Amino acid sequence: MPQKRILLLLLLFLNCFANSAIVAQSNCNSDPKTAKLVKQALLYFRESNFEKSLILSRASLNEATIQKDNCLIARSYNIIAANYNAVSEFDKSIFFYEKSLGYANKTTNDSLKANIYNNLGNMHCFDRGEFDIGIRYYKKAIAYCLKTNNLKEVFFTNVNIAWAYFDVKNYDEGYLFLKYVNSNRKYGDESTEVIVDMLNGIYLAHKGRNDEANTYFLSAIESGKKCDEKTDLSNVYSEYATFLDKIGKHKEAYQALKNYNEISAEIYNEGKLKKASSAGISLELDEYKREIDKIENEKVVQSQSLKKSRIIVILFILISLILLFLIVTLVKNIRYKKKHNLELLKAKEIAEEASLLKTQFISTISHELRTPLYGVVGITNMLLEEHKEISKSQHLSSLKFSARYLLSLVNDILQINKIEENKIVLENFTFNILDEITVIKNSLSFLSQKNNNKISVDVDPEIPEYLIGDKLRLAQILMNLVSNALKFTKDGEVEIKVDLVNVEGKLNYLNFMIKDNGVGIAAVDQSKIFEKFVQVGRKEEDYQGTGLGLSIVKRLLGLFGSTITLDSDLGKGTSFSFVIAFEHDLAKTKSIIDEIEVDLTPNEVYKILVVEDNLINQLVTKKIIEKNNYVCKVVDDGFGALKILENEVFDLILMDINMPLMNGFETTKRIRLLGVETPIVALTAFDKDEITDEAISSGMNDIIIKPFEPVKLFKIINFLINEKNAV
Ligand code: ADP
């Protein structure tokens, strides 16, 4: 049996290697010196000089390993494996074939791979008795052969497979491959001629076609004798001997066996095997060394990677620590900010609450002060009118002045509070600047007479007749400045001068100057006087003002986008000036004029119902209304109003808001529910802005703030009554 294996291996090895050598030249790009060593090792192997073959293949393996030439490494291992196979060291042989395959798989040399798979197929089928594994290897070999279109190798592998099947006595299966081999003999060589004839002989012998079998065996012997390599011949003699013995030709069988033994002994003499095994030992040492080197290398790589991974670990820890630190800081920051934000929010809430409280406080105080002041001012007026004999009384004058002072203080505080809370929005009215200033001049005539001052008005004729803007705020500014000028000037002159300084499109820039030749303001005080409650040189005994006038002026001018300029010399006089731009637009003016309420002077006697709980205020309001020759009826509360309205019809109702039991809003709602459509005007000490929404929603028609100018009250009364009658 060993002969068979060697023959098979040799057959394939020779042929396959011849092919792979060609491929190797193109694919392996190998060093020619090393390639030559491999070739030489192969030649020695073919000559059965296993010792020399092993020595050379060892040398080629070392060179190829240094050159990292996977192709030559695989080829060297292949020859080494073949040598071990030849000396019947099957385990080692398979070990080196597998090594060879490992390196071949790192290359693209498919012929080489086919070759090794073939050899492994041989090893498993013939030496290990692992037929199935061997066939699998053969099939892989065929696949690689077909991939490279190497039909010669396909042929050789088929020879092997057929032989392998015959070896396990599966003649029918093996014949399928032998059939392929017989019809493709052109791919064979002189060595395969021998084997193929022998296989045909074996198959025909099995089929009992002994004559034909005998012819094939004899042909195989003839061919084998012609070959230099005698391994094939020895195999044929062995099979022929078996055949002859089987057919009873014992004498011929004996002769064939004798021939077989002679040839075998010639090929595998003891010396060759011994030498081969000593060469193999050095090779094994090399292999161990290589393994050790590999392990050492791996160790170095491992220690390097360990070092690297140590550095990575250290870096990782460092980065983690930094990240941790950052996260902790971040969390702390967030917490701090949250806390801080909460504190800020709290502070903001407190501030807003405080501001709301302040507003509520101011509005309540204003309301509470205005209500009695309405009475005080009203009754003082009544006394002065009805009792002319005491009109000269100093006390009464003082009372009137004090009441007026208090009233202006309350109004000023309310005004400044509204400006500070941005509650004032400028409105548009059409006005004539000269008319407005004349009204101001007239209303301050009392003050001018008091200090014996003259007021002169000088309005630039270039200023258009009608301007558009918030004339009420302008009047407030001028009233404050002119009354100050009159207050701080004695026996002098106060000049109100308005000049057109610039025109930009529809905008007319007017420069206002209020100039007096009074006491003047010291330079040190000039910046202070615009602060709230600042009064300079105030004497305890007089009530010149509240110290809020200029603050209001400054803030109102701010709403116009303007600033005030002060020019004053102590003892010589003072002048305040500012510029405001008013619009001049004829089309707009016309529409605004059209919207102006027509003041229809009443010829009729209207019947007014006053709903008021405060007795003094009842008295004052009733007096004012009756003075205008209207009929006035007063009820104390809302229920009184509802009751009287069941039986009587009124032209207008003046409704107080703040009343016990039922307030003005509720009373109005109920009146409206009764179907009474009489105009209702709120008469209240509340600030108008505070109650407008509720007043309108409850069904009221307008609002008048106490204390009021009687003229204004009648204007509203007449307008509303006329409007209702017109419907
Ligand atoms: P008051 O209500 O006291 O007039 P203002 O804010 O209007 O408050 O004025 C503040 C102070 O500026 C006054 O007390 C006064 O001393 C000074 N002042 C204002 N206008 C004049 C002026 N035309 N002549 C002299 N002093 C003035």
Kindly state if the Cβ of 451 falls inside 6 Å of ligand 1: no
**SS3 assignment, position 565:** strand
Kindly state if the Cβ of 571 falls inside 6 Å of ligand 1: no
Longest alpha-carbon distance in the chain: 185
Q: What is the DSSP letter of 562?
A: -
Residue pair 568/575 in contact by the 8 Å Cβ criterion: yes
The kind and range of the H/E element at 429 are strand 429-431
CA 531 / ligand 1 centre spacing (Å): 11
pLDDT at site 17: 35
State which ligand 1 atom lies nearest to the alpha carbon of 535.
Answer: 14
Amino acid type, 224: G
Reported pTM: 0.44
Q: Which of 415, 406, 494, 486 is nearest to 450 (CA)?
A: 486
Kindly state if the Cβ of 545 falls inside 6 Å of ligand 1: yes
pLDDT digits (tens, 9 = 90+) for 8-56: 333 344 333 333 222 222 245 678 888 888 889 888 887 778 888 888 8
Domain assignment of residue 585, yes or no: yes
- In DSSP terms, 57 is beta-bridged to none
Kindly state if the Cβ of 492 falls inside 6 Å of ligand 1: no
Residue pair 34/69 in contact by the 8 Å Cβ criterion: yes
Kindly state if the Cβ of 485 falls inside 6 Å of ligand 1: yes
Pocket test for ligand 1, best of 527, 539, 550, 553 (most atoms within 8 A of CB): 550
Residue pair 161/8 in contact by the 8 Å Cβ criterion: no
pLDDT at site 125: 86
Long-range Cβ contact pairs of 176-184 (< 8 A, separation 24 or more): 178/203, 180/155, 181/155, 184/151, 184/155, 184/158
Whether residues 32 and 146 fall in one domain: yes
Q: Which residue has a Cα nearest atom 12 of ligand 1?
A: 529
Whether residues 184 and 200 fall in one domain: no
What DSSP string describes 217-237? Answer: HHHHHHHHHHSS--HHHHHHH
Kindly state if the Cβ of 529 falls inside 6 Å of ligand 1: yes
State which ligand 1 atom lies nearest to the alpha carbon of 552.
Answer: 6
484: containing domain: 410-593
Cα distances from 569 to residues 119, 488, 515, 516, 523, in angstroms, run: 126, 13, 12, 11, 8
Whether residues 100 and 14 fall in one domain: yes
| Lookup result for tokens 């594994």 | 133
642: alpha, beta or left? (left if phi > 0; alpha if psi -120 to 50): alpha
CA 582 / ligand 1 centre spacing (Å): 27
Whether residues 523 and 606 fall in one domain: no
State which ligand 1 atom lies nearest to the alpha carbon of 519.
Answer: 25
Q: At what angle do helices 90-104 and 70-86 cross, to 10 degrees?
A: 160
Cα distances from 456 to residues 112, 198, 356, 438, 684, in angstroms, run: 125, 150, 44, 10, 37
Which residues of the chain fall short of a pLDDT of 70? 1-29, 268-296, 298-299, 355, 394, 397-398, 401-402, 404-405, 534, 537-545, 589-603, 726-727
Domain assignment of residue 612, yes or no: yes
pLDDT at site 273: 57
Whether residues 184 and 209 fall in one domain: no
pLDDT at site 298: 67
Kindly state if the Cβ of 483 falls inside 6 Å of ligand 1: no
CATH classification of the domain holding 632? 3.40.50.2300
Q: Which residue has a Cα nearest atom 2 of ligand 1?
A: 545
Residue pair 174/142 in contact by the 8 Å Cβ criterion: no
Kindly state if the Cβ of 573 falls inside 6 Å of ligand 1: no
Kindly state if the Cβ of 710 falls inside 6 Å of ligand 1: no
Q: What is the rounded distance in angstroms from the CA atom of residue 135 to the CA atom of residue 179?
A: 18
CA 396 / ligand 1 centre spacing (Å): 26
Whether residues 75 and 161 fall in one domain: yes
Pocket test for ligand 1, best of 409, 484, 565 (most atoms within 8 A of CB): 484
Q: Which of 223, 215, 220, 226 is nearest to 238 (CA)?
A: 220
Q: What is the DSSP letter of 597?
A: P
Domain assignment of residue 102, yes or no: yes
Kindly state if the Cβ of 514 falls inside 6 Å of ligand 1: no
Q: What is the rounded distance in angstroms from the CA atom of residue 654 to the CA atom of residue 522?
A: 50
Kindly state if the Cβ of 544 falls inside 6 Å of ligand 1: yes
Half-sphere exposure of residue 559, counting CA atoms within 13 Å on the CB side?
A: 24
Of 130, 161, 188, which residue constitutes the final position of a domain?
188
Residue pair 201/217 in contact by the 8 Å Cβ criterion: yes
State which ligand 1 atom lies nearest to the alpha carbon of 551.
Answer: 6
Q: How many domains does the chain have?
A: 4
Whether residues 674 and 696 fall in one domain: yes
Whether residues 211 and 256 fall in one domain: yes
CATH classification of the domain holding 240? 1.25.40
pLDDT at site 417: 75
Kindly state if the Cβ of 261 falls inside 6 Å of ligand 1: no
Q: Order across the sheet with 702-705: list the strands.
A: 631-635, 607-611, 652-655, 680-684, 702-705
Half-sphere exposure of residue 445, counting CA atoms within 13 Å on the CB side?
A: 5
pLDDT digits (tens, 9 = 90+) for 446-478: 788 889 999 999 999 999 988 999 888 898 899
Kindly state if the Cβ of 550 falls inside 6 Å of ligand 1: yes
Of 268, 289, 304, which residue constitutes the final position of a domain?
268
Of 245, 268, 291, which residue constitutes the final position of a domain?
268
Half-sphere exposure of residue 14, counting CA atoms within 13 Å on the CB side?
A: 17
Q: What is the rounded distance in angstroms from the CA atom of residue 13 to the CA atom of residue 7?
A: 10
Kindly state if the Cβ of 536 falls inside 6 Å of ligand 1: yes
Kindly state if the Cβ of 519 falls inside 6 Å of ligand 1: yes
State which ligand 1 atom lies nearest to the alpha carbon of 548.
Answer: 6
CATH classification of the domain holding 570? 3.30.565.10
Whether residues 634 and 707 fall in one domain: yes
Domain assignment of residue 317, yes or no: no
Q: What is the rounded distance in angstroms from the CA atom of residue 247 to the CA atom of residue 432?
A: 152
Q: Which residue has a Cα nearest atom 16 of ligand 1?
A: 536
Domain assignment of residue 346, yes or no: no
Kindly state if the Cβ of 369 falls inside 6 Å of ligand 1: no
State which ligand 1 atom lies nearest to the alpha carbon of 485.
Answer: 23
Structure tokens at 237: 């003699």
Q: Which residue has a Cα nearest atom 4 of ligand 1?
A: 545
Domain assignment of residue 634, yes or no: yes
CA 502 / ligand 1 centre spacing (Å): 30
Whether residues 563 and 607 fall in one domain: no
Domain assignment of residue 275, yes or no: no
